Amino acid sequence: MSRPRIGLNCDVTVAASGAEGLALNWAYVEAVVRAGGVPLVLPPVSEELLGGVLGAVDGLLLVGGRDYDPALYGRARHEAASLLSPRRMAFDLALARRALGDGLPTLGVCGGAQLVNVALGGTLVQDIPDEVGTELEHRALGGSSPFHTVEVAAGSRLAGIVGEGTLEVNSSHHQAVEEAGSGLRVVARAPDGVIEAVEGVGRAFVLGVQWHPERMLDREEQLALFRALVREAQ
Ligand code: MN
């Protein structure tokens, strides 16, 4: 059997000269490879090329980054929000909407989970420390080791992948899902109630996790998230 092709969105960099480039954390590439997929990086081209881009992949891994414009979910911008480049933001939103509409298997990680939610009409907490006022620090930056636990909902697709009950996760985010988007349900929360995972209620594979499983690939249950995406894309 040929290996499924997994498309990954990526970030836009701007050099001192003003020249734009692309950036993607290698851990996402590693995750797709170890899960048995072929990673294909999708540059944020204009919307008229979207059909061609999506025709080249069997599944989608939406990666993290800075914040999406709160205007997308009808909010004024919080001072702590640090927005993605307009080029990436426009492409990501169009990509996610089209892919979800087409039922393309999709896994969102961190900002990718927030993108899935916004693309389906949901809202975000723009700044957890300010808007939730939790004692739990969700911004343990870059961490590959577990930082807090989440409670995985029994009977969910997520539970079928990582197991039911308590799961140890890392945490590198200051935003989170607030109201789940249309066709999504909340399937994991941190002990402070912050939403840590959402999934689609329909047949299509749609899963968003707020932590970074790609930085914990030595843990079988974390690698299993990418294996599930690749299996669905097969
Ligand atoms: Mn967290």
Render pLDDT for 51-92 as a digit per residue (tens, 0 to 9). Answer: 999 999 999 999 999 999 999 999 999 999 999 999 999 999
Distance 196 CA to ligand 1 centre (A): 6
Looking at the whole model, is its pTM more than 0.85? Answer: yes
The active-site residue out of 110, 138, 173, 178 is 110
Domains and CATH numbers, the chain: 5-233 (3.40.50.880)
Rounded CA gap, 127 and 150, in Å?
Answer: 19
In this predicted structure, what is the pLDDT of residue 133?
Answer: 84
Active site residue 174: no
In this predicted structure, what is the pLDDT of residue 142?
Answer: 64
Q: How many CB atoms lie within 10 A of CB 135?
A: 7
141 pLDDT exceeds 80? no
Q: Evaluate whether 226 touches 214 at the Cβ level (below 8 Å).
A: yes
The active-site residue out of 178, 196, 199, 214 is 214
Distance 128 CA to ligand 1 centre (A): 10
From the number of C-beta atoms within 10 Å of its C-beta (0-12, 13-18, 19+), residue 17 rates as exposed
Rounded CA gap, 43 and 11, in Å?
Answer: 8
1 pLDDT exceeds 80? no
Q: Evaluate whether 23 touches 13 at the Cβ level (below 8 Å).
A: yes
Q: Evaluate whether 217 touches 34 at the Cβ level (below 8 Å).
A: yes
Phi and psi (nearest 5°) for 87?
A: -65, -45
Tens of pLDDT along 27-40?
999 999 999 999 99
Region 146-157: what's the mean pLDDT? 95
Rounded CA gap, 229 and 67, in Å?
Answer: 24
Distance 172 CA to ligand 1 centre (A): 7
Rounded CA gap, 23 and 198, in Å?
Answer: 26
Q: Would strands 5-8 and 59-62 be described as parallel, antiparallel, or unpaired?
A: parallel
Distance 170 CA to ligand 1 centre (A): 7
In this predicted structure, what is the pLDDT of residue 145?
Answer: 81
215 pLDDT exceeds 80? yes
Active site residue 148: no
Active site residue 131: no
Distance 7 CA to ligand 1 centre (A): 25
